[in-house]
Amino acid sequence: MAGHSKWANIQHRKGRQDAARSKLFSKLSKEITVAAKMGDPDPDKNPRLRLAVKEAKSNSVPKDVIDRAIKKSQVGDGDEYEEIRYEGYGTNGVAVIVEAMTDNRNRTASNVRSTFTKNGGNLGETGSVGFMFERKGEVTYPAEVGDADTVMMAAIEAGAEDVESSEDGHVVWCADTDLNDVSTALEAELGESESTKLVWRPTTTTELDLEGMQKLMKLVDALEDDDDVQRVTTNFEASDEVMEQL
C-alpha cells in the first residue's frame, strides 16, 4: 500500500505541475495575442510582441502554440481583452499589484476582490500601492554567462541602469521604454537571456516572518490561479532562513 500511496502522490504532484504549466502557457499565449492585435503581427516590427514571444520561449512554450496565438490576433471575431491593474495589500501591509487581461471587467474585479478578502488581504483603489514600485525592464542571465564585471560592462554599453549579480545569476535593470533596445544589445554581447520582461520593481519593501510569508503566498497563489490574472507582484522581503523554511 505504501508503494501505491507514493505513486498516487507522484501522480497527483505531476497533475498539479501539468495544470500549472498549461495555465502558464495560456497566459503567455494571451499576452502574445493581445500584443499582436495592438501592433504588427511580425515580432521584428512590434517590440511588445517580440518581448512576449521571447518570454514564452524562455518558458518552453512550443513554437506552434506561439504561432497559433499570433494568428488568433488576426481573426476579426476573436476575443477582445482589456488590460486592468489592481492594487491592494496582503498580510502585514505588503503591497500587491495584480495585472489582469480580461474580456469581462466585472467578473475579474469581483474575483480579485473576493480573493483578497478570503486570504486576509484588502483590495485598494488604483494608485494605493503603485507609488511603492517603479516600472522597469528586467533582463536575466545565468551565472555562467560571465562574472559580475563582464555583465556590468555589457549592461553599461547596452544603456542599462543597474545590475544585480549573485551566485544565482545576473539581473539587468533598465528604463521600461528601453527594454527592447537594451535586451537586443545584451544578446549581441552575452547571448540569449533567460528572461526579458517588464516588471514592477519595489522601491520600498516590507519584512515578513515565516507565518507572514505563508499567508502571503496563499494569497499570491490564489490570485495567480485566476485565469484572468497575468502576473502578481509584491514588495515583501524575507531572510534566507525564512525562505528556506518556506
47-58 and 2-38 helices, crossing angle to 10°: 170
Strand duo 82-89 + 162-166: pairing: unpaired
- 100 burial (CB, 10 Å; 0-12 / 13-18 / 19+) is buried
pTM to 2 decimal places: 0.80
Count Cβ neighbours within 10 Å for each residue of 143-170 and write b for 16 or more, e otherwise. Answer: eebbeeeebbebbeebebeebebeeebb
Count Cβ neighbours within 10 Å for each residue of 208-223 and write b for 16 or more, e otherwise. Answer: beeebbebbbbbbebb
Instruction: Tell me: do 54 and 168 sit in the same domain.
Output: no
Whether residue 99 has pLDDT greater than 50? yes
Instruction: Tell me: do 213 and 145 sit in the same domain.
Output: yes
Q: At 111, which CATH number? A: 3.30.70.980
Per-residue model confidence as pLDDT tens digits over 160-197: 999 999 988 999 999 999 998 999 999 999 998 888 88
Q: Residue 35 belongs to what domain range? A: 2-72
Whether residue 36 has pLDDT greater than 70? yes
* Mean pLDDT score of the chain: 86
Average pLDDT over residues 88-100: 94
Instruction: Tell me: do 132 and 243 sit in the same domain.
Output: yes
- The stretches of 39-147 forming alpha helices (DSSP H) are 47-58, 63-72, 105-118
Contacts of 125 (CB under 8 A, 6+ apart): 87
Per-residue model confidence as pLDDT tens digits over 50-65: 888 888 888 888 898 8
Per-residue model confidence as pLDDT tens digits over 228-239: 999 899 999 888
User: What is the pLDDT, as a whole number, of residue 7?
Assistant: 38
Average pLDDT over residues 111-123: 95
Structural domains counted in the chain: 2
Instruction: Tell me: do 109 and 168 sit in the same domain.
Output: yes
pLDDT band at 75 (very low <50, low <70, confident <90, very high): confident
Query: How far does Cα 152 stand from its chain's mean position?
Result: 24
User: How many C-beta atoms surround the C-beta of residue 76 within 10 A?
Assistant: 4
Which of these three, 46, 72, 98, is where a domain ends? Answer: 72
